[in-house]
Amino acid sequence: MTRALGRLVREIRRCRLCVEAPLGKPLPHEPRPVLRVSTTARLAIVGQAPGTRVHASGIPYSDPSGRRLRDWMGVSEDEFYDEARIAIIPMGFCFPGLDAAGGDLPPRRECAPHWRPRLFALLPQVELVLLVGLYAQRWHLGSDARRSMHETVRDFRSLMERPGLPRVIPLPHPSWRNNSWLNKNPWFEAVLLPELRRKVGGLIRDQSKNKPFTPVDHSSRTN
């Protein structure tokens, strides 16, 4: 990690914007920013914000959603958590709290505009960004984002083939709350996931110091 990136990550881990200078109600608990970055990771996962389990553990995707995402990507747990190869950069670094129905609130509004431009400026080596969920897609795609998550994910090929780097692949959130969407859209598993695994596998293989990439066995997958 370069000195500049190291300094910025230390700043982020000390961040208290959502408590001391909130846009709206302050965060109702102590901040615990969660992210994983390096100067060598060529793949970045951009999700929404940590949930309750991740807030407790400090480990991103340490929940059933993480298991499903690793399955989608075709990577092992060790590969997923190798920050030399995979960066994990949520839209909001801290757990935002729960709404009245018990679901996670949206990412805090203070976080992205304050930190993301500076952080991504120090990650020029990233070649592929997985945009997990609507908030990530709207921020990173800007005017190229479609009207809904469904339309954005459905149009993944044209978005992935946009000129320039990093490339992007939009994904739904791997939460159980999206089981109905997944069941109604079998093309996601049949068409998008093979392309996702091919792209991710290529980046992992290139950085594995000549060790062959071994895809995960998907035959026993459970949703």
Percent of the chain at pLDDT exceeding 90: 87
Residue 210 has pLDDT above 80, yes or no: no
Average pLDDT over residues 152-177: 95
The pLDDT of residue 214 is 41
**212 within some domain:** no
**118 within some domain:** yes
Digit-coded pLDDT (tens) for 185-205: 999 999 999 999 999 999 987
Q: Which domain holds residue 159?
A: 3-96+103-206
User: Nearest Cα to 200, choosing from 74, 92, 53?
Assistant: 74
Digit-coded pLDDT (tens) for 35-68: 999 999 999 999 999 999 999 999 999 999 999 9
Q: What domain count does the chain have?
A: 1
Q: How wide is the angle at C-alpha 180 spanned by C-alphas 174 and 185, nearest 5°?
A: 85
Can you tell me which residue has the tokens 């079998």? 186
Q: What CATH number corresponds to the domain at position 126?
A: 3.40.470.10
- Tell me the three state secondary structure of residue 132: strand
The model carries a pTM of 0.90
- The tokens describing 197, both together, are 């695994």
